Chain A
Amino acid sequence: MHELSLAQNIVEIIHQHVAENDLPDVVSVKILVGECSGIVAESLAFSFSALVNETLLRNARLIIQKNPFAVYCNTCKQKSSNEWGMNLCVWCGSTDCEILSGTEMHIVEIAMNETANEIV
């Protein structure tokens, strides 16, 4: 259920960025979400679409790029990935691992339609 709160954060950050930089029509917002970040992508996309209605971002589509969960093993010095978010090296079975990715959630980029400017 915190997807609505996260979507509000995205909308606020983009609104602020658009206003500060006087940007044209935003057509997409790309975010990176770790597969073990606890976010339901569909809920986040739904919340985003509901929030941007009748705002500057009404034409914006939320693109959610998922990042796999990956760890670095301090024992065998190899990287590995598992979809369950376990702190476990799949190569040697060690649990002495550092998380490399899969828990993040941040905005990556926005795309804008500059057609209006090009015509001018």
Chain B
Amino acid sequence: MSVITIERKLLEKNDERAKQNRELFLKNNIFVINIISSPGSGKTSVLEKSLEYFNGKISVSVIEGDVQTDCDAQRIARYQVPVVQIVTRGGCHLEANLIAEASKNISLETTDVLVIENVGNLVCPAAYDLGEAMKIVVVSVTEGEDKPLKYPAIFRNASVLLINKTDLLPHLHFDLNVLKKNALSINPKLVMFETSCVNNTGISAWCEWLRSNIVKQ
């Protein structure tokens, strides 16, 4: 019996492709965000409200990832922004090679911000670098305060937490401070915004923060 040491990352192929994506995006001066949440937390709604807020002042392109259907791409197309739908047909997350392919259908020269809306899933997408500048995690207040503790990987890897559906707070036994405390216990550097897509609370704060980070890049 002989043993050979092989120090290789399990995700080396994805990481290499993500690196190429990142180089391509940087070369074209595109700020890329990868939005991740459970199904139904409001990723698409937050994106719609953000597009409304920017109202064409920032050139946004969108890659939608879903297990099935192009419902989200149809929703986004109403805002007159370029959108590409990736249908994974069962795949629980997006991978860097899918983004590389989808990016070919986007005009990189005219895009300031590329939004990748990942498949609704708090587990698997956390592990896959797509070449984004930052991951954004969305949690809605109906999901409970314990989500950061139950799904730490995505909270560890994200830069921003959007706490969504805050208009429902009066109807819930939900403690916003406990959610924040739990999130910060996993990642003390998380930037947090409270948002509602029903009454538009927090959308401008989130969008202005995003805009300031585009400038920084």
Chain A interface residues toward B at CB < 8 A: 1-2, 5-6, 9-10, 12-14, 17, 21, 23, 27, 31, 36-38, 84-88, 95-96, 99, 103, 105-114
Does A38 contact B186, Cβ atoms closer than 8 Å?
no
The yes or no answer to B108 lying at the interface (CB within 8 A) is: no
- The answer to whether A106 and B153 have CB atoms under 8 Å apart is no
In angstroms, Cα B9 to Cα A107, docked, is: 6
Q: Does B192 contact A (CB under 8 A)?
A: no
B71 within 8 A of A: no
Asked if B215 is an interface residue, CB under 8 A from chain A, the answer is no
B75 within 8 A of A: no
Q: Is the CB of B186 within 8 A of A85?
A: yes
Number of cross-chain contacts by CB at 8 Å: 96
Would you call the interface of chain B mostly helix, strand, loop, or mixed?
mixed
Cβ of A106 and Cβ of B8 under 8 Å apart? yes
Binary per-residue interface labels of chain B (1-32) against chain A in the complex, 1 for a CB within 8 Å, 0 otherwise:
11111111111111000000000000000000
Q: Tell me the complex Cα distance, A107–B6, Å.
A: 6
Given known A-B contacts A2-B92, A87-B186, A103-B156, A23 and B4 have beta carbons under 8 A apart: yes
Contact partners of B126 in chain A: CB under 8 A: 38
